[in-house]
Each structure stands twice: as structure tokens, then as C-alpha cells.
Structure 1
């Protein structure tokens, strides 16, 4: 799905967007990519890697859930520091952060379920409420949830916090649905793909708000990617194709790397905001 690049399409008609400069923040170029087909393809690939890489590190390498969680959290913090220090959207840095946050979001949900015994119904509810709080505070402070105006430190912080909770929520909700309905991997993937298609229809045919349609689809891509990853990596007797987590992770990482290099060279996913800023300065 692609979304309008005009800010007015995503700002509440009641509460006007505030000027980032007026709140004391340093104006910068937009720090996220344009939402195109490339965005959604890489996003799904990252969610798949988040599922298979977490399993690979936890089970195949024998690091254990706690050690893997600490290791990946440190790597994520390092990637986000680099992301915050960039002046504009950089495909390599941005998608590295997304891939790592996908792994960490998966591990957060897995830790709650496996280590602490928190029921999936509880974790799904908690993550949904946490995401709602992030959105409420973000909108209250910035008067917009626009993904086309991630051009200040505060907006970028809200954005990445929301992304983290979407991954955790998608993991918990996907596991809950799989546990309750026992559909199998490929049927689960089909179900989530149909749900995303329904969001696209609601957006383009029925006029669903661009912001909410984006974030709903963003959450749904997490269980979609996880179902695809599980279907490819799990053994045949468990309902998968038996490729294993190593092959699946390497394959998807290679595709992600190829697409990121392509976007770095062609700048196909640079937002109109950044194009105008680059032309002006």
C-alpha cells in the first residue's frame, strides 16, 4: 500500500499540526522512507527475519532466551543511536534498525510467555494498551501521527517506540491466534494477507484515515511475516517446508540487503519532503 505524501491527509481536522521548530526541536529532514511497495516488501522480510533469527540464536546456537534478548537489545540500541545521529533517511541504517527491532519485539513477547508465564491474552492486551498510550502521547505532544513528518528528535522517538510495540503486539496477537485457531502456517499467512488486503480496500475504496490504515497494516505484517518464516523454516512433520532457520534467515537477509542497496542507489523511496529539502539546500 502507498499513502498520500501530503501532511494534510494525515492530520486531525480539529487539532492543527504544530511547527516542530516552535517547540524548541531542531528541524531535520524526514527520517523515514516513503511508504511504497518496497517499504512493505522489506517490512515483511524483516518480520520474517525477526522470527527466524530469534529462533536461530535461541535454539540452534544454544544461547538461551535471556542471553539472546540482552545481545539483541544492545545491538538495537547501537543501531538506534546511529539512526538518531543521521541527518536524513538512510536506507541501510533505517532498515538495520527495523530488522533488529523486529527481533527484539519478538523476544519481548517470547520472554513474557516462556520465561514469565504470562498468558498470550494478557500480553496481547498489554501491548495493545501500550501502543495506544504511545499514540495518545505522541498526538497530544505533536498534534500529528504523520509518518511524513518524522523530522524532529521527539517525533522520531515516538515513531520508534510505536514500531517496537507494533512488533511485540503483532507477535503476541499472531501467537494467540495460531494457538486458539490452530490453522497451520500457510493458512495463517493467508489469513493475515487477506486482513491486510481488507485494510487496503478500506483505505482506498472507503476512505479510511491514512494514518490508522498504515499502522493497522504495520501491525498485521508482523504475524504475516512470522507465519511465512515458520512455514519455510519448520520441519515438514510440523507443517513447514523444512528449510531450517539458518537457510531461511540467510535467504531473507540477502533479499533485504539487495533491496536496501537498490534503494540506496536509486533513492526510489525518498519522501517528497526530503526531495524538497535537498533541492532547497
Structure 2
């Protein structure tokens, strides 16, 4: 299927060559890679998918057409764009049923919004990142927004730092050794500065993202633990710095910590023994 877009579009991810795994099924590797590309963009033309995947358009079309038959992707005829499909959402949502953290945390998130007047988020840990899985928005016109599925580096988010504060020092050291991306002048990329921040987070029981990922936004967060006392997720309140001042953040901290503790209890988790 040719791309009939009237003008060259620049959306999508940088060009990445889709290479088969050393062992496995090449066509499956390619299908998963293309699904990931489409899911990460707000609509891609066939040309854009092919360029980003470094594959021939004909190959990409056959893979996308197969994914479309299974509802994993959808094709928008008007704009000649490929989008992620409803079946991808349904299958991905099955992950949340494993622990039902999002469901368990919903009431606590709503209570935080009611008390704090700011948006509440819940995210799960995934390697060196956190993935946002649920949100309750404030009615304020200027507010924080994280689409479900949004991924954020663990060192540059409130929930991420709440989780990091519970990691063993050697694990944090390995993370730092791999290099920490800087997103704003406030992002903590120095080992000593990050260690001091994590120690303060452990001492008070909640973390603060002070414009470290997005300028003009602050976030207060606390970790959620599993039955082994391991940090697996976190809950947060986020808002613009004009409303979420340092004084307000300090007042919200214990509220967020209590909400996270309640979610921990609801999933039969337990905080780490100190």
C-alpha cells in the first residue's frame, strides 16, 4: 500500500534497524518491533514505519496487515496512518490483572486528588524506568498529564526516586555507571548528589521530583511494596510549581506516603524492615 500523505511528516521515532534476535523467529521479532513503533507514535504512515524500522515498505505492509487482522493495529484511511489497535490494549491490560495494583490504588488516588487538588498517578517499576498505568486528573486547567503506558527514566521522576531510594547501593551504583540522562538543569546525574537525595527520601518516607523531568512541574511520590518488601510501584501527586510550592509539597508528602502504604497493605505487601 503506497503512502498518500500530501507532505513529508516528521513524526515517529528515530531510524532504528530491526534486527532479528540471535535465536528466535525473525518475523515475530519484526512484528513486535513494528508494533512498538506504532504504539509509540500518534499515527505513522507506511513510509515512516519502513524508515524507522529500516525495512522495505512491502515487508512492513505485510507485517502490519497481519497485525491488523488480529486487531493489534488499525489503519486510518483518511490520513493513511497506522495506529495501535484495541487488541493491543486488551492484551496489555492483562498484565495489570496480575496484581491489580491500579485497581487497588484507584480509591487512594481519588482521595489524594480530593485532598490535594492535584493530579494523582500510579506507576510500576520496569528495569531502569517507571511506567505510568493509572491517573486521576484534577479539574485545574493547568495540570500534569501522563498517558497510560508513558515510560520515564527512574532517576528523573518522583515515583522513580521513591523506588530508587529502596534499592541496594550496588544496584544504584550500576545504574549511575551506565550514565544518567539530563532532561533539565535540575536533573540529578551526579552520583554523590543522587545518593544524598535518596538518603533524604528514605529518611522522610517520600520523594520529590523538583522540575527534574519537566520544567515547571513538581511531583511528590512514595513507593508501594510487595510481600517481600521490594519496591514494585509508586503513587504520586503532580502539579505546576506555581501551585505545588516546596511548602505545599512538604505538606502533601505524608498524605502521599499514607496512600502508598494503604495500597501496599491492600496487595498484601509490606514495607522493608529497617
Instruction: Provide TM-score, normalisation by structure 1.
Output: 0.23
Query: Which structure has the larger Rg over C-alpha atoms?
Result: 2
Higher strand content, 1 or 2:
2
Instruction: Provide TM-score, normalisation by structure 2.
Output: 0.23
Higher helix content, 1 or 2:
1
